[in-house]
Amino acid sequence: MAQKRALITGITGQDGSYLAEFLLSKGYKVFGLTRRTSTPNYERIKHIEDQIELIPGDLLDQQSLTYAVSHSKPDEVYNLAAQSFVATSWSQPVLTGEFTALGVTRMLEAIRQVKPDASSASGRSARSTASAASRAAARASTTSSTVATPGPACRSPRAWPPPETSATAWSGSRSSSATRPS
């Protein structure tokens, strides 16, 4: 069986770094999309940096997302990158919408362009996950939701370990004491 491949946006964040560790422990080849900055912060992934491949890119740049999907050839895409600073989300709502909403659209478009049949080279269906930052909507209430799309199946990265089903719904609030998956 071919090694599964995963692309994680937001890999340098808390959830992305935990997910990268988990997927590596399951034998995945892990790629991470990192934003181009003058002072990169790889603190959360420094212990696994030699086991993953980082790809520069940005959720605001369609071409960089298309390149990341084309280069990584993922079986699964975890789109965890989003605006996570509450104060910035309120002072720059349009930018927050660009990252949190249109970033998901751009990533799905990149997957569609690179893998129009939504299947990987191994014959498995390509899967994608998007996780909007609840911190950016501080007054939003937590509700149950189910996503049904005609395209790639969605699943929640918040369930550890991720379920093997093609689509699931996540319900509930985030635990305040995050632990690394075992």
Tens-digit pLDDT profile for residues 135-167: 444 444 444 444 444 444 444 444 444 445 433
Burial of residue 46, with CB atoms counted within 10 A of its CB: 0-12 exposed, 13-18 middle, 19 or more buried: exposed
Nearest alpha-carbon partner for 13 in 48, 54, 42, 49: 42
| pLDDT tens figures, 26-72 | 999 999 999 888 788 899 999 999 999 999 999 999 999 999 999 99
Residues, the chain, total? 182
Nearest alpha-carbon partner for 69 in 130, 113, 29: 113
Please tell me whether residue 159 adopts helix, strand or coil conformation. coil
Confidence of residue 134 (pLDDT cuts 50, 70, 90): very low
Nearest alpha-carbon partner for 180 in 32, 33, 16: 16
Buried b / exposed e across 111-140, counting CB within 10 Å, b at 16+? Answer: bbebbeeeebeeeeebbbbbbbbeebeeee
Q: Which residue did the predictor score with more confidence, 129 or 171?
A: 129
